[in-house]
Structures are given as structure tokens and as C-alpha cells.
Amino acid sequence: MQAHETVDDSQLMIRVATGDKDALCKLIDHWEKPLGSFIYRYVQNREATCELVQETFVRIYEARDRFKRDMKFSSWLFKIASNLCKNYYRWRSRHPEDLIGDDEIEPSSDCACDLSRPDEDPSEILSRREDAAKIEELVGSMPHQLKVALLLHYYQDLSYKEIAATIGCSERGVETRLYRARAWLSKQLEHGNEEKCCHRFFAFTGLR
């Protein structure tokens, strides 16, 4: 997790505003990975991620005239991306039939990253993977504004101010959303643990 923005982004965006596509390519080089990571955590679907990353840059180019010098590019970028993600979710809920053959909902944090550390106990590794999968599942079902605030704060390293500009609220509002997001997650995890305990109990006593 790192701060991606440099002073050059705004300068590049000003060049993009004049129709300079090379500048757009530089912005793509710079922002493709963080943007992809944000979108993938949001939609949890590889194909949709690629599509939405492309669409975000297309929208940025189309809306280039609306970019202002005093704007933080990252805020603008994630604002567009989060709106696209929201629309994608809405569309997906209306067209569940189009999800056939999708590669989504892969448990355990995409299974693509290695969470293990050299000196770590295998059971620890497994536990952490299960935990990550649970977090992924819960974030997937989190309300939009809480999800955006959470993803931008913890995984994109954006400041409250930048998140506020992205979501369209005050910094205080961002704090509130993050608090609610954490509370929502804690509650869900607690509920999940209780359910897990119940499952174990019933399995043990043979009452299920």
C-alpha cells in the first residue's frame, strides 16, 4: 500500500485535457495497478475488473474538460471507478443470468497471493487464508459507500480528504463511514463466529 499520486498526475491530466493521448498512456501506466486492485476488491471478478479499468480510463478521457487544476487526480479517478463499480453491481443484480461462466467468488482472497511467511506454522497460514476469504466475502456484501471508504482508506492509502472528495462528503463523514464499516465487519465476523461455534456444537452433539 503506497501513495500513488505524484505531482505529475495533475500535469499529465492537463495535457490529456488538450487531447494528448501519450499523457493518457502515462497515466494508465501509473494507475493501472492501483486502480485494478481497487476495482478487483470491489467487484471480485477478473473479467469485470479488466473491463472496468478500461472503462474508467475512457471516461477520464471523455470527461477531461471537467478536470480542474485544484482537483486531486486520485480522487477523481476513484470517484469515476467507484461509480462504475456501483453501476456494475446494480447491473449484475438485474442480470444474474449473465453471470454463468463467470470466474467470480473465488474464496480465500483470489488464492493467487502467497500469504505464507518462511517461519510460519502451516495451520497459521491456513487460518489467515480462511480469514482473508471471510473478509473478502464480507466486503463483497458491504454497502457501497462503506465499501468505497474502506477500500480507499486501507488499500489505496488515500487520506480522509481524498476519500471525502471521492465519495462526496466531509472528512468527518469519511471517519463516520470508516467507523461504520469496521463496526459492520466486526458484527458480521462475530455473527459468523457464533454461527461457526453453533455448527461445531451441533455437529459434535449430533443434533443437526
4, 72, 86, 128: which one contacts other proteins (CB under 8 A)?
128
197 lines the binding site for other proteins (CB under 8 A): no
Tell me how far, at minimum, the Cβ of 197 lies from other proteins, in Å: 18
Binding status of residue 147 toward other proteins by CB under 8 A: no
Query: Cell for 174?
Result: 469519511
CA 93-167-136 angle, 5° bins: 50
From CA 127, how far away is CA 119, in angstroms rounded? 15
Helices vs. strands in the chain: H and E counts, helices first: 8, 0
Per-residue interface string for the shown chain with other proteins, residues 58-97, x marking contact by CB under 8 A: x--xx-----------------------------------
The one-letter amino acid code at 83 reads N
44: left (phi over 0), alpha (psi -120 to 50) or beta: left
Reduced to 3 states, what is the DSSP secondary structure of residue 53?
Answer: helix
Q: What residue type is assigned to position 137 of the chain?
A: E
Q: How far is the CB of 20 from other proteins (least distance, A)?
A: 12
Q: How far, in Å, CA of 208 to CA of 200, rounded? A: 10
Q: Does 25 bind other proteins (CB under 8 A)?
A: yes
Interaction of residue 17 with other proteins, rule CB under 8 A? no
Q: How far from each other are the two terminal CA atoms of the chain, in whole angstroms?
A: 44
In angstroms, give the least distance from the CB of 202 to other proteins: 26
Nearest to 103 by CA among 45, 41, 52, 50: 45
Rule CB under 8 A: choose which of 154, 169, 171, 180 binds other proteins: 154
Determine which residue in the list 104, 132, 169, 176 makes contact with other proteins, applying CB under 8 A: 132
**Binding footprint of other proteins on the chain (CB under 8 A):** 1, 21, 24-25, 28-29, 32-33, 36-37, 39-41, 46, 49-50, 53-55, 57-58, 61-62, 109-110, 112-113, 115, 128, 131-132, 135-136, 139, 150, 153-154, 157, 159, 182, 185-186, 189
